[in-house]
Chain A
Amino acid sequence: MSRLEPDDETTGWTAERYAAGHMSEQEERDFEVAMLESPALADQVNAAQGLRAGLRELQTRGALSSLMGRTRFPVWHAALAAAAVLLVIGAGVLFFGRHPQLPGPRVMASSVAQLSDAARVVTASFIVAHTRSQTGPISLTLTRHPGAIDLKILPQAADTGGDYQVTLASTDPITSIVPVELHVRPDPAGFIHAYLDPTVLAAGDYRITVIQGPHTEQFPIRVSFPQSLPTRP
């Protein structure tokens, strides 16, 4: 291993892997020599370990959740924020007067960052694929807990290199959502990821349509929210 500079992006990641114990024995030996050649690299390893230890301790104390999403602003920001809220309310009143219908929070997106604040963490994943034994729609049993659902869609046709167009539409007159369309690329394993927000999704029948070039596949799904499941673990 050539001399590693601790400020280098790749080196920093190598220090992270070593700190987490994600290296083979030979990689560890090579890194340890590099760490002795560049003592500041040991600092990077210690920092990674310290961050992990500190976060674990905060989690143990139950202090972590209150830190997420909490930000401190100078006092004058409050006045500015209040003025901004008034402005938005005023604009909304004008806009609603002309456009009575607006789309609600996103029910599906290509990344969790595009969903509501309540769905920024993936809490469950489902594989959506055609199987020989499958008859009827793919069943998704969800809960109303905040958190995104990662749908890992596996198309049967081989990837031709372009974006996949993924559409979610309701096939149930009761659910009636505005169809959502994404343009995504698959992950290295071949799965297309679409993230659902279960807090804005109604139970019922849907269809996911995946199109790439001339190939179209459809996946009927049935979403349910059993009443017997606890609302909080």
Chain B
Amino acid sequence: MGLPLDHKPRPITWPASTRSLPHREVERGSFLPPLQALKLMTETLMDPAELASRIHNGDKRAEAELFSRYKNGVRQIIWRITGNDSRAEELTQETLIVVLRRLRAGSLDDPTRLPAYLAQTARNLAIAENRKERRRQTDTDSEALEDIPDSAVSHDRALHLNSAANIVRHLLNEFRPERDRHVLIRHYLHDEDKESICREWGINESTFHVILFRARKRFLELLTKRGINRTDLFSFVLVL
């Protein structure tokens, strides 16, 4: 999926209905570009410097691309630090808004390093949030807070868990040969090291990697087939 060095992205042709759709930015919370009308093709991704330049010039589509392209990765980074899904969602929006403002102002020193800047901003905000949370917990009755059930999260989580289990069940049923199913279980469930799995099953490293690659690819295909948004799946897998 890599782009050749001399790749020039084709201009993105947006459906006419999207051109006049407004989008609004709120002080804290969600930035709502017309994502439902967008279909971003990976082969037309702009390089970071061009993306930054277009945003600085007021290109709203480039701003939408900033969100759609980096949201998943930024949320992954923040979740690993905070361990809290709803906070991760909130801080992801905040990170992207902070970076968007810098890009609009043209104050990013080196636009080619946009991904590194995003990663660092995400990390800083997550660490700051963790510190705030620790201070909050010393000031309040944290046990009382923990006793309050979040029924909305539990319900969504149960649904997503069910989806993941069904997808994996389907995947295991069709995975051949049987050896490969055992390799998946030893790796993902038992967390065994690659070398011992290879040795015990008489496979080399390359075969091991191919088995995992097939499983990941099929998992994503089944996800899409079931109409599950990949970003929805992200929300619960990390809390397990």
B172 at the binding interface (Cβ < 8 Å):
yes
Closest to A9 in B: B209
Does A64 make an interface contact (CB < 8 A)?
yes
- Whether A47 and B220, one on each chain, are in contact in the complex, defined by CB atoms closer than 8 angstroms, is yes
A118 at the interface (CB under 8 A from B): no
Query: Within residues 40 to 67 of chain A, which ones have a CB less than 8 A from any CB in chain B?
Result: 40-59, 61, 63-64, 67
CA distance A217 to B188 in the complex (A): 38
Closest-by-CB residue of B relative to A34 is: B115
Interface size on B, residues (CB 8 A): 64
A51 touching B72, Cβ below 8 Å: no
Determine if B69 and A54 form an interchain contact, defined as CB atoms under 8 angstroms apart: no
Interface of B is mostly: helix
Size class of the contact patch on chain A = 35 or more
Contact B199 A193 (CB under 8 A): yes
- Which one, B72, B161, B206, contacts A39 given CB within 8 A? B72
Which residues of chain A are near B16, meaning CB under 8 Å? none
Contacts of A5 in B (CB 8 A): 1-2
Question: Which of B28-36, B101-109, B128-136, B174-182 touches A?
Answer: B174-182
Q: How far is the CA of A63 from the CA of B70 in the complex (A)?
A: 36
CA distance A150 to B200 in the complex (A): 9
Q: Give A172 Cβ to nearest chain B Cβ, in Å.
A: 29
The count of A-to-B residue pairs whose CB atoms sit within 8 angstroms is 170
Closest Cβ of chain A to B84, distance in Å, is 16
Given known A-B contacts A9-B210, A33-B116, A48-B216, A56 and B169 have beta carbons under 8 A apart? no
A181 interface hit (Cβ, 8 Å): no
* A residues less than 8 Å from B167 (CB atoms): 50, 54
With contacts A53-B236, A56-B240 known, is A36 near B216, CB below 8 A? no
Q: Which of chain B's residues have a CB closer than 8 A to the CB of A46? A: 72, 76, 230, 233-234, 237
Closest to B221 in A: A47
The verdict on A120 contacting chain B, using a C-beta distance below 8 Å, is yes
Contact with B along A4-18 (1 / 0, CB 8 A): 011101101100100
The verdict on B137 contacting chain A, using a C-beta distance below 8 Å, is no
B206 x A9 contact (CB < 8 A): yes
Complex Cα distance A96/B161, Å? 53
Interface centre among B48, B76, B116, B217, by most chain A C-beta atoms within 10 angstroms, is B76
> Is B42 a contact partner of A40 (Cβ separation < 8 A)?
yes
A112 close to chain B: CB less than 8 A: yes
State whether A58 touches B168 (Cβ < 8 A). yes
Chain B residue with the shortest CB-CB distance to A112: B200
Cβ-defined contact, A6 with B1, below 8 A: yes
4 cross-chain pairs, A with B, having the tightest CB-CB distances, nearest first: A54-B168, A36-B115, A111-B202, A54-B164
CB pairs A–B below 8 angstroms (20 shown): A13-B209, A13-B212, A35-B73, A35-B76, A36-B119, A40-B42, A46-B230, A46-B234, A48-B212, A49-B234, A49-B237, A51-B215, A52-B240, A54-B166, A54-B169, A57-B162, A67-B181, A71-B178, A111-B200, A112-B201
